[in-house]
Structures are given as structure tokens and as C-alpha cells.
Structure 1
Amino acid sequence: MGTGVAIAIAGQGMALSSDYMIKIAPMLSATAAGVEVSAVADKALILSLITGLTALVLAYFRLRKTFQSPSMRHLQHWMKLNGTEQVTATRTQSAAEAKTSLFFAILVPVAFLAVVVYMVYATFSGADSLEGGAGAALIGGVAILILIAAATVYNWRQSLNQVSEHLIEGFTFAFRAMGPVIPIAGFFFLGSGEISARIFLLEEGVQAPSFLFELVEAGQQFIPDSPLFAGFGLLIVGMVTGLDGSGFSGLPLVGALSGALAPTVGVDAATLAAIGQMGAVWVGGGTLIAWSSIVAVAGFAKVSVIELVRQCFIPVMSGLILSTLIAIWLF
């Protein structure tokens, strides 16, 4: 559980909420707010670090009693979760096996590092950028190739069977993890105009209902003209828009509200936009709702996605509150 919480906070929260390298999130927020992208990106980076470090520290103290010393018994228990076969007892490796293990221990991180480098290069160089599911397909393809290579080296006669078994285990866990999430997510998807149109099978050109965003817009007038209330109001608005599981779809709305509220409350629009961006991406990006990409983290850690969200809730919320207070006070 501790591993899943750490990955969710650092990867799903800190990295996505700042989006400092690609700057897609700051661009959406800044464009709607009418401010410079760099201004939102710089402040979002600081707020994401404050939120993430606070959440990591709190999560550590909450979970440290569950930490145990490394043991083969723990590995066997972890591997048995969700139907995975139990690991066999430890034995002395031969020299050839030791070299093979070392080779794959180096190959796996190097291969995925090469994928990351290529994706960054493609983004900034203007070459063939990986849009849509192309990035996920590239990562998945590399993973499958490594899986096939490892299975072949381990036992080439049974390699195809082993690859099939591992793929089945992965798909089985994915369906088991998403089972209780899909019905809940469906209700929130009805609140997004883009998705609700497909759910209601509306014809092209027909205005689809957007209950979630309409609710946020209706509550805008009730936010008092105070920097404190405006900051936390934007944080809550961002969190509500993040309930659709994306985190990015509500950024234009958050940015527009920031630009409208900034002159009346005396706070920089970039600051309000960064606060709203924190709320939207930390919630929808994959730390506080179970139907977001946190499912992938739960699958890796082999823990319940619902329980993972519960463990992240208090640390992340504490970090968001602290970062919002600091933003209003300093910026």
C-alpha cells in the first residue's frame, strides 16, 4: 500500500499537477485566465511541490507502522494476490542465471528511459508527436517485447504459455479492479457535456447537458470577494471539475473564473489559476477518485483501488489546503 500511495502522490499528483515540462495544463489554465503560461506554470510547480511533499510526509507517518522488513514470505504473499501463482522457494542461482538476471535488471529501466527520452524529444522537436493512445501503445509494446524476451530466456519451450498467463493475469486484475468503479464513474460522466452527448446518443449539433459544470457555474456568484474565500473557492471548483476522471477538462473553466475573480479580490489571476489547477489535476489526475488513472497504480501495487484512494485522501487534502494558504499569503 505504501508503494502505491508514494507512486500516486509523486507521479499522478506532483508530476501531472505542475506539468512543467509539457505545459499542457498551464496552457489551458493561462489561456482562459488571460495571463502568461509561464506565470501559471511557475506557480503551479511550487504549489505541486508543497502539496506533494506535505502529502508524502503525512502518508509516511500514517503508514509507517505497516512497513516490514524485506522477506521472501512477503513476496510470496504479494505474488499470490489476485490469483498470481506463488513464488517458489529461493535457491542458489547459477552463474549464467545471475548474468541473465543482471542483464534484464539493467535492460528494463534503460528501455523505458529510452521511451521517455523519445517522447520528450518528439514533443519538443516537432517530430512525429505521440498523440492520443500512441504513447500508451509505445509503452505497452516495449513492455510486451521485454516480457517475451524474459520468458524466452527463462524457458523457451514454455515461453508462449508464460507470456499468455501473464497477460491473462494483468487483464483479470484490471477488470476486477475496475468492476466497482465503472458504475460510480458513469454518474459523473453524465456531468460532462462532451461525454453525456455520447451516453444520451444525441445527434451531432444538439446541445448536450453538462450538469457538473453547470453546477459549478451556478455557484460562482456565491463566492465572497475575499482572497481567502476566492482561493479556496477556486480549489473546490477545480476539485469538482476533476471528478470526471480527467483533471484537464475543467481547466478552461477554472482559468476563466480566475480571470473574472482576480480584479475583485485583489489576487493575481495566475495564482488563482494555479490553485484551481491543483484542485482539478490532483483529484482528476489520479489521487482522489477511483475511476482515474490511479487504477494503473493499484494494478502495479496489487492493492484495492478504493483503499488506495482512501489512504491518499487525508495526506493530499492536507497538502492542497496548505499550498492554497501559502499561495494566498505569498503570491
Structure 2
Amino acid sequence: MGMDLVSLHWIYISFILLILGFMIIRRDTTIICIIGIFLLSFTATSSLTGSISGVFSSFIYAITELLPTILIISIIVSMSKALITTGINDMMISPFAHFIKTPTLAYWVIGLVMMIISFFFWPSPAIALLGAVLLPVALRAGLPALGVAMAMNLFGHGIALSGDFVIQAAPKLTADAAGLPVSDVIQASVPLVITMGVVTTVTAFIFLKRDLKNGTLPVQASPLIEAAENTEKVQMPLVLKRILALLIPILFALNVWAMFTFNLQGGDATALIGGTSLFILMIISIIGHQNKGLEKTTSYLIEGFQFGFKVFGPVIPIAAFFYLGDAGFTSIIGDFLPKGSHGIVNDLGVAISSVVPLNEQIAAVTVMTIGAITGLDGSGFSGISLVGSISQLFATAIGSGTATLTALGQVAGIWVGGGTPP
């Protein structure tokens, strides 16, 4: 069994390197993860049928762990689609258009509104909610479409998504892989997200103003405006639109109040946001589509689930592999680790600490670099389980700092994966 344990460690670390290598060359890692799961299972059990079953079981385990996250994002996307189709999003966003009078105001107002909405709706739906309404206003104020895209991306896919303080999809993935409570990762990420956000948005604004002054970035019409104007909308009385446009932000504000008042975190906070979004979706569907409201509610949910599983499809195999590094091993494969083992990742961390002179600086730079590499696939989410696992490994070697390293890798991975670097 001792030799099997050594083999497990070598297989695990070899496949970590393989996954990193494939991410660097921007190739998919699903097959690599499946082979890694199979080899780990076969090494532990020496059973061919058990190992093949272990691959499937690992997917079930990963989906079970990720299901609340997939579900909340799917529901929010469903609700966002209903808001766009009924035109309620126009009513929700239009008040901010009055503040957009200059390119400077356009950049910061659009960015801050994008950040706030992304905390509750996630960036991809938030772009659809905002873009059609505020892009024409920004162009008229003198901010080019590229400037609008910069603001929306930095504040949405950058600040909001890398922290993900409300929906908590990102910290859930990294916290699980690092064996930490979600609240620890969120707390550790706050100063990192603020620092990253201030530096990047201010720097981008300075470059944007320079290009506008030099005339190298002209203001041109965008095909997005024409596409938005041609989007089919459901007719709804103006009074109802205004009432719903006011009611929806109030409901989400009450959610935030409830989170602080009743100390709701993690799954409880996610469930509150998800349940509220479902009721909003039903109300909009019934009022907006009337007799077809029942069917349209289902239709919106189907669109949301298609989006959710499309986003998390590449994440599930990677998460399945990295869950084996910690508590998932016993649940997926069985109780095959010796009594002296504290899990593959923890064992490797102890081994590294006795061989390699790691310190905080080396660990931070390494985790941040790995996070950036995992983001090269364009997702940002597919690799943050790897970041959490490696952060736990390094923190074990150092003796502390798991939450900070995990948050640092999460921020690096999502900023790069969200397409925020120039």
C-alpha cells in the first residue's frame, strides 16, 4: 500500500503538469483529466471495472458539488433573457443614461453600473442587459465602442467576476479545491480585487483618454446598435414595465440586506438569490406573455440551462480530477489511502516543504502565474480548481496562507480568462 501511495502522488502531480502544459498550448484538457482519474482509481483499487466506474462516479461527484453554482447561473440567465425580451431591462438601465454627458462620465458610469449588475446577474447576461441601452448613449457622448467594451469588461469580467461576492460561483470552486470555507476565500480576495480593479481601470482610462486626444481612437457607429434595435420585444404596458423595473432592484437589495442581517453565506446566499430570480422570472413571464406565460417560463429556463452547462461543461472534468486530491478521493474511489495520509495534496505539500525551500513570495508568484495560464483557455473557470489545489499544496509547505494564495490565483485566472488583458 505504501508503494501505491507513492504512485498515486506521482500520477497526481504528473497530471497536474500535463493539464498545465495543455492549457499553455491552449488545448482542451478533458481527455487528460479522464485518463488521470482512471489511473488514480486503478492504482488505488487494482480493479479495471471499478476504475472505469470511478471515472463516471467522479463526474457525478463534481456535478453534485457544482450543481448549486450551475443552477444559480442558469436561473439568472433565464431571468435576464426574460428582462431583455420584455424590455424591462431598458427601463432599469435608462435612468443611468442621464448621467452620461461626456466620455469620462460614460466610461465610469457604464463601468460602475456594469460591476453592480454583474454582482447579481453575472457578466455575460449583464452585458446583454446594459449594452443595447447604454452603448448608443455612450457613442453620442463621445466614447467609442471600444471604450465601452473596455469599461464593461474590466468592471464586469474583471472586478465583479473575480470577486463574485454575491453569487459566489468562483470562490465556491477555488474554496472546494483548497479545502476551505467559501467565506475565507471571499474575505481574502477583497483587498486583491480592489487593488487589481483600481490599477487596471485607472490605467485603461488614462490610455483611453490619450488615444481620444490623439485622434487614434475615433467614435464610430457600432453594429451592436442596429442588432439591438432589431431585437424582437414583447409588448407590455409602460406602467407595468416601470413597476417591475423598480421592483426587481428592490428585491435584490432586500436580498443583500438579508445576507448581512441573517449572516447568509455560501449556499444559503446562493439559494436566496436563486429563489428570488425564479419568482421574478415567473412574474415577468406571466405578465409579459399572458396566456403563453406557462410555456415561456419553461422556455426561458431551458435557455438558461443550456448556457449554464455550456459554461461549466469544460469545468466538470477538471473539477472531478482535482476533487480526488482531497476529500473527494474517499467519496469517489473509496477508503484506500493509508491512515498516515491526509489526502494527496496535503501529502505532497508536506513532502515539498521538506525538500524545496518555498517562501511566501515564490508561492504567490507561482500561483498567480498558474492562475493566468489556466485563464488562457478563455474561460477563467475551467482552471481555478487547479489553482485552489496548488494553493493548498503550497500553503501546506509554507505553513499558512491558503486562503490568500487561493484568492490570488482565482483573481489572476478570471481576469485573464475574462479577456481583460490588452
TM-score tier after normalising by the smaller chain length = 0.5 to 0.7
Match for 1:103 among 243, 252, 262? Answer: 243
CA deviation digits over 1:44-91, x for unaligned, max 9? 7544422232344567779x9899758543437xxxxxxxxx83179x
Is 1:150 the counterpart of 2:284? The answer is yes
Match for 1:232 among 362, 365, 368? Answer: 362
| 1:119 Cα offset (Å) | 0.9
CA deviation digits over 1:199-232, x for unaligned, max 9? 21337996777444444443334236xxxx6323
Which residue does the alignment assign to 1:302?
A: none
Is 1:288 the counterpart of 2:416? The answer is no
Whose relative contact order is higher, 1 or 2, with alpha carbons under 8 Å and at least 6 apart? 1
Which residue does the alignment assign to 2:329?
A: 196
CA deviation digits over 1:270-312, x for unaligned, max 9? xxx4xx644312434x7616xxxx9xxxxxxxxxxxxx71624
User: Secondary structure in 2 aligned to 1:288?
Assistant: helix
Which residue does the alignment assign to 1:169?
A: 303
User: Secondary structure in 1 aligned to 2:231?
Assistant: coil
1:194 to 1:119, Cα distance in 2 relative to 1, 3 A: same
1:89 to 1:169, Cα distance in 2 relative to 1, 3 A: closer
| 1:146 Cα offset (Å) | 0.8
Q: Which amino acid aligns with 1:105?
A: A
Q: Which amino acid aligns with 2:194?
A: L
**Mapped contact 1:151–1:162 kept (Cα < 8 A):** yes
Question: For structure 1, which runs of at least 5 residues remain unmatched after alignment?
Answer: 20-24, 30-36, 77-85, 124-129, 261-272, 295-307, 316-331
Which residue does the alignment assign to 1:304?
A: none
Higher deviation after alignment, 166-175 or 203-212: 203-212
| 1:145 Cα offset (Å) | 0.8
Higher deviation after alignment, 138-147 or 176-185: 176-185
**Mapped contact 2:252–2:273 kept (Cα < 8 A):** yes
**Mapped contact 1:234–1:258 kept (Cα < 8 A):** no
TM-score, with length taken from structure 2: 0.44
CA deviation digits over 1:105-159, x for unaligned, max 9? 1111111110011011001xxxxxx465332222111111111111121132111
Question: For structure 2, which runs of at least 5 residues remain unmatched after alignment?
Answer: 1-123, 125-148, 169-173, 179-183, 212-216, 375-382
CA deviation digits over 1:171-224, x for unaligned, max 9? 11112222233223333333x211222221337996777444444443334236
Match for 1:279 among 387, 405, 413? Answer: 405
Q: Which amino acid aligns with 1:231?
A: Q
TM-score, with length taken from structure 1: 0.54
1:5 to 1:198, Cα distance in 2 relative to 1, 3 A: farther
User: Secondary structure in 2 aligned to 1:170?
Assistant: helix
**Mapped contact 1:236–1:279 kept (Cα < 8 A):** no
Which residue does the alignment assign to 1:187?
A: 321
Match for 2:419 among 311, 315, 319? Answer: 311
1:105 to 1:73, Cα distance in 2 relative to 1, 3 A: same
* CA distance in structure 2 between the partners assigned to 1:8 and 1:161 by the alignment: 32
**Mapped contact 1:10–1:52 kept (Cα < 8 A):** yes
User: Secondary structure in 2 aligned to 1:155?
Assistant: helix
1:255 to 1:89, Cα distance in 2 relative to 1, 3 A: closer
* CA distance in structure 2 between the partners assigned to 1:180 and 1:169 by the alignment: 18
* CA distance in structure 1 between the partners assigned to 2:224 and 2:370 by the alignment: 42
Q: Which amino acid aligns with 1:6?
A: F
Superposition map of 1:247-262 within 5 A: none
